[in-house]
Amino acid sequence: METKTDVQLKELVRQKYSEIALQNIEVNQASCCGAGGCSTEVYNIMTDDYNTVEGYNPDADLGLGCGLPTQFAHIKEGDTVIDLGSGAGNDCFVARKEVGPSGKVIGIDFTAAMIDKARVNAEKSGFENVVFLQGDIEQMPVKNDTADVIVSNCVLNLVPNKNGVFKDIFRVLKPGGHFSISDIVLNGHLPDVLKKDAEMYAGCVAGAIDKHAYLNMIHSNGFTNVALQKEKRIDIPDDILANYLSQEEIEDFKNGSTGITSITIYAEKPKPCCDPAGGCC
């Protein structure tokens, strides 16, 4: 059951990402995961470069990711792929290239402005096997055992009920299906002033949880063959930290044990021991 705080955080994210849908990639990349122009430095905190990725559509790239989950997702021709938090459709269009005309890609996002933008991008490109659905990713508007593969790019950290998301991923994946998710996690603990700030939450930082807790959540929901596919340290520029911390606190934070990390994680939904098609194992 959602708490009042959970509802408030989700509404904050909805509002911020409705604004982001109207911004271009240059504005979003010069910000905290698209949350606003919060740094005077020219930098790209989290995103990876899509320019050499087949299927990449610049119109759909808002610069909001923290990895390249489709690169690690072992997508095959004919697969049904679901992208959680699909935004303007960037990862969906990359996945479409991999599933081919016999496959299907479903993008799910709870921000109406993002869904509208993604649908326009799909229509301009004439993509008929990519659909976009508005909904919460902890209660996806799709049936059980729908997806061969689920991907997501820097989205779960924005969801208060991360455990609920993993439960629904398990429900929606076919037995034997798998996910590849890029996300932000922590090693250690953020200073309280960062954890409590709304902009830092919408900026993909304050909503992140400890990496070990994240991995334990995946295991506890029944997934197997869990593997860390990629790990990359994220450094918050000093001029962002200066909005929250004194110079002394900035030095303590940067030299301390807390690390903010982008990870790409893989896991599988196991097949039942007795498979009607293949007999008992």
The three-state DSSP-derived secondary structure of 28-56 is HHCCCCCCCCCCCCCCCCCCCCCCCCCCC
State whether residue 170 is helix, strand or coil: helix
Residues 85 and 96: beta-carbon distance below 8 Å: no
Model confidence at 201, in pLDDT bands (50, 70, 90)?
A: low
Round to whole Å and give the CA distance between 50 and 88: 14
pLDDT digits (tens, 9 = 90+) for 116-137: 999 999 999 899 999 999 999 9
Return the domain boundaries, the chain. 4-270
Distances in Å between the Cα of 44 and the Cα atoms of 8, 21, 47, 196, 235 are 28, 18, 6, 23, 10
- The confidence score (pLDDT) of residue 280 equals 56
> Has domain 4-270 been given CATH number 3.20.20.370?
no
φ, ψ of residue 221 to 5 degrees: the values are -95, 10
* C-alpha dihedral (242, 248, 249, 251), degrees to nearest 10: 90
Query: Amino acid identity of 4?
Result: K
- The confidence score (pLDDT) of residue 44 equals 41
Q: What is the pTM of this model?
A: 0.84
φ, ψ of residue 66 to 5 degrees: the values are -135, 20
164: left (phi over 0), alpha (psi -120 to 50) or beta: alpha
Pairing of strands 80-84, 147-153: parallel
φ, ψ of residue 92 to 5 degrees: the values are -65, -40
Helix (H) or strand (E) holding 224: strand 224-234
Round to whole Å and give the CA distance between 18 and 239: 25
**The two three-digit tokens of residue 179, written as one number:** 């996910």
Cβ neighbours for 122, distance < 8 A, ≥ 6 positions apart: 89, 92, 93, 130, 132
Locus of tokens 């709870």: 110
Q: Is the dihedral of CA 192, 193, 197, 200 positive or negative?
A: negative
φ, ψ of residue 118 to 5 degrees: the values are -65, -40
Mean pLDDT, residues 244-267 taken together: 88
Task: Find the distance separating the first CA and the last CA of the chain, reported in whole Å.
Answer: 38
Q: Is the dihedral of CA 96, 98, 101, 104 positive or negative?
A: negative
pLDDT digits (tens, 9 = 90+) for 142-187: 999 999 999 999 889 888 899 999 999 999 999 999 999 999 898 8
Model confidence at 256, in pLDDT bands (50, 70, 90)?
A: confident
Tell whether the model's pLDDT for residue 46 goes beyond 80. Answer: no
